[in-house]
Structure 1
Amino acid sequence: MKVEFVSKQIIKPSSPTPQNLGIFKLSFIDQLAPVMHTRILYFYPNIQNEAADRDHDRFERLKTSLSETLTLFYHLAGRMKDNAVIECNDEGVEFCEARVHGGFLSDILKQPDADSVHQFVPIDDAHLGSGFLAKVQVNLFDCGGLAIGVSLSHKIADASTIGSFIKAWSCAAVGCMTESMLPKYILGSLYPSMDFPIVLPAVEFRHFNCITRRFVFDSSKITKLKATAASKMVENPTRVEAVLALIWKCVTIASRTNLGITKRPSMVSQFVNIRKRTSPPLPETCVGNFLGHFMAEEPGESNNDDSEMNLQGLVIHLRKGLEQFTKEHVQKLQEGNNAFMTVCEGLKDLELVYKEGIDFYGCTSWCRFAFYEADFGWGKPKWVSIPSLKIKNSIILTDMSDGKGIEAWVTLSEQDMALMETNLELLEFASLNPSII
């Protein structure tokens, strides 16, 4: 399967950005965000078997509606300056057209591969100073199917912002844009930018020999898993709590087994969308980064290595961590004098990722963002994927197309993954990389 790039052009807003909106000030949370792009990938089968002469129409629809959407998300077409503001100069976003030869979209859907999907999304060259805050790569398969890869700078977008942008874009493509979809530019005034002595460098992840695998939890298995994970303290675990607890248990056991030990602390850091947790809640359409993370720890100090590593106990740890985060972190964020220090203290926790003597796992949940609703005029996507960054001990959770099941992309060392793939408790509730078709 070969991806051939046919054209690359700049898409600008359909209407000039008003002069009074020429400067977009970052929030200090955006300023602290990593210099990297976050990417998402949509797969659309050619259900109607459109003729070749319609391919041009589909590309034009995407470009025209993207241009219209950039009039609303005008900051995406601008350029970053000094890690403090975006000059909204309408310089545009990158739009690449590509043809995929030697394979069909169904080949990808039959056996999804964590490595192969990277060729369908824009290259993250933020560290090279490309300047683009948003990129799109549209891949046309020989069968007529499409894969649309979208990449937004993490400096100005979290998962919620990406979801808002793609929802608005797809609705513009079919002419059903509503006022409720309009972006809200309020985070910069709530958390004003600050003067930092240096410009933050691009994120540099340490490279390990690691492998990514996709585990799928369908809705019926999640129902059983939630019942198993329930306890008097958490009578009704959420989907994410139940799935993450099971994965946390299995990866920790794999690590301890390979190390030949039974006592070793294990920690999970889970990122949380803060918008709905403030009082009053902020609209999901407010753009920028407004997320934090909480920590949950399984101390690993018991003589019986299975006494603490049970689903009920891990779910309790996760629930307590989230409740404490909401009560303390979110409350401090809403107290203006404490907000900056609160965010900085939270970032320090992430230094544990490289600390010796503990197992540290980072989880990002992209569930409940309705990514499967993106219909550009040829139906909803058959599959939505979040290409893995290949970060060791990372877990990415996404919804399945029914909105009830969960896909988990787990990245571990080769040794730990070998045990994960054969863990009977995990495979009781999850399928290893099943076909999407």
Structure 2
Amino acid sequence: MEVEAAGHNKFEVNFTGKSIIRATNPLPGPHVLALSNLDLLSGRFPVTYFYFYCTPLVSNFTSNIVDILKSSLAETLNHYYPFAGKIVQNPNTSEPEIVCDNSGALVVEAHANIPLKELNFYNLNQSLQGKLVSLIPNFPLQVQVTKYTCGGISLTFTFDHALGDASAFGKFLVSWSEIAQRKPISCIPDHRRNLCARFPTTYHPSLDQTFVKCTIDEIINMPTTRIRLKRLYHIDASSIDRLQTLACIDGNKRTKIEAFSAYVWKVMVNAIDQSHSTCKMGWLVDGRARICQGGDENSMSNYIGNVLSVAFAEASVIGLKTGSISDIANDVHDAISKVTNQDHFLDLIDWIECHRPGLMLSRIVLGRGGPALVLSSGRRFPVTEVDFGFGSPVLGTVCSTIERIGVGYLNQRPSGRGDGSWTVSAILWPELAAALESDSIFQPMSAAHLQL
């Protein structure tokens, strides 16, 4: 399904300026921040978050909005100094490391030739690459401020995955918005990257089947796939509640994400090649609450870095077609439960230690093992909180600029409407996009959903 823009102008972006923003109070001399084992597992992929804001209500604010963003970013980098560094390859280990030398973050300024309401929010292939996201090498953090003819703006933030994961980036964005509003920051970031292997190392043998050591060439030359469509969807709160009711029909308590996953998995089997007898689904899991240090469940809450693993499950096509949402949600719950514990993350850290030096990835993410879809839940990721002094965004979500990918992705975020609805960004193959859009649950994102 293609959703056309409301107007007739071809969407174009004119780039008007670039600035390198450095911390105002840098550390006394550069130092090297070694990556943790879990950082090495996440790799060096660019991750982009984008937020859209209507015309600011503050008078004359648009003229100096970029100056305020730059000055508050410089102050924020005092607290998040690795984000102003550069990422280089260690000559001895060939592993990446962060040189905290205050090289700076890049801010790009641009003007769009349309009002926000005419932007194609659904087809991210058209609106992101080279327009709202224009990557320049050697800057781990890049920001683009784009102004629209209506006075609205979009902010796109692109991070090197070596800097952290969604939790880390969310802390950074909230801190930045707090500083922009002259509020005390609510997070004192922890940059220690102290997730060390045990001695002696030990791990469950199942990790050998889930993760694999790989080369950069294997990542670049993933098997040719058709997972190229980048889409954005709106999911009504009523649809989410209805799916959760179906998932809990046998008396089991299932989360909204488990229920949603069961629905998606059931739809997915109608969008894969008939030669496959099984179908896989995966879930990104944040380990911060699982790796408790000193018995304190909140000890890792402000940890800046990567603390991610992936849970996977495989089910038969026949079972997924005939099973109920409740049955499938039970399978989802069981799969996720296997990695939401401290033992799994400690084993994973040890597994990586045993396979260093080098890069490590999930076999499924590398495109090995048949059709698969990975779901990332951003229930706690900030959307309305990312207010730089000119109001909350109408939309905040994530997408990737990666051209070659071995697995489909769904990224769930809260809607900017604050009514319990979701925004879901997706990277899909054509048949799966068509299957998901065949009923009313996955609604192609439009200006109407954003109340523009």
Normalization by structure 1: what TM-score? 0.84
Alignment of 1:63-212 (within 5 A): 63-81=70-88, 82=90, 83-101=95-113, 103-108=114-119, 111-118=121-128, 119-124=130-135, 130-178=137-185, 180-188=186-194, 190=196, 200=216, 203-204=219-220, 206-208=224-226, 210-212=228-230
Q: Is the 8 A contact 2:19 2:108 kept in 1?
A: yes
How far the C-alpha of 1:243 sits from its partner, in A, is 1.5
Match of 1:39 in 2: 48
Q: Label 1:242 to 1:378 Cα distance change in 2 as closer, same or farther (>3 A).
A: same
Q: For structure 1, which segment, 131-140 or 263-272, has the greater mean C-alpha deviation from structure 2 after superposition?
A: 263-272
Q: Name the count of aligned residue pairs.
A: 407
Letter in 1 for 2:413: T
How far the C-alpha of 1:260 sits from its partner, in A, is 4.7
Match of 2:433 in 1: 417
1:235-293 Cα shifts (integer Å, max 9, x gaps)? 222121111221111121232xxx456x7201101111111222343433211111101
1:77-116 Cα shifts (integer Å, max 9, x gaps)? 1112323432211110111111112x1012227x543223
Match of 2:379 in 1: 367
Q: Does the residue aligned with 1:187 lie in a helix, a strand or coil?
A: coil
Q: Does residue 302 of structure 2 align to residue 285 of structure 1?
A: yes
Match of 1:405 in 2: 421
Q: For structure 1, which segment, 277-286 or 360-369, has the greater mean C-alpha deviation from structure 2 after superposition?
A: 277-286
Q: Is the 8 A contact 1:225 1:242 kept in 2?
A: yes
Q: Does residue 229 of structure 2 align to residue 222 of structure 1?
A: no
Q: Does residue 286 of structure 2 align to residue 273 of structure 1?
A: yes
Q: Does the residue aligned with 1:151 lie in a helix, a strand or coil?
A: strand
Q: Label 1:162 to 1:314 Cα distance change in 2 as closer, same or farther (>3 A).
A: same
Q: Structure 2 CA distance, aligned partners of 1:343 and 1:9? A: 40
Q: Structure 1 CA distance, aligned partners of 2:232 and 2:62? A: 32
Q: Does the residue aligned with 2:244 lie in a helix, a strand or coil?
A: helix
How far the C-alpha of 1:335 sits from its partner, in A, is 6.2
Q: Structure 2 CA distance, aligned partners of 1:153 and 1:285? A: 19
Match of 1:17 in 2: 27
Q: Percent identity?
A: 21
Q: Label 1:386 to 1:36 Cα distance change in 2 as closer, same or farther (>3 A).
A: same
Q: Structure 2 CA distance, aligned partners of 1:321 and 1:209? A: 24
Letter in 2 for 1:370: P
Q: Structure 1 CA distance, aligned partners of 2:156 and 2:436? A: 29
Q: Label 1:244 to 1:351 Cα distance change in 2 as closer, same or farther (>3 A).
A: closer
Q: Does the residue aligned with 1:132 lie in a helix, a strand or coil?
A: coil
Letter in 1 for 2:52: F
How far the C-alpha of 1:398 sits from its partner, in A, is 1.6
How far the C-alpha of 1:2 sits from its partner, in A, is 1.5
Q: Label 1:169 to 1:199 Cα distance change in 2 as closer, same or farther (>3 A).
A: farther
Match of 1:236 in 2: 253
Letter in 1 for 2:237: S
Q: Which runs of 5+ in 2 are unaligned?
A: 1-10, 199-212
Letter in 2 for 1:183: P
Specify which of 361, 383, 397 is matched with residue 385 of structure 1: 397
Q: Structure 1 CA distance, aligned partners of 2:118 and 2:189? A: 37
How far the C-alpha of 1:354 sits from its partner, in A, is 3.2
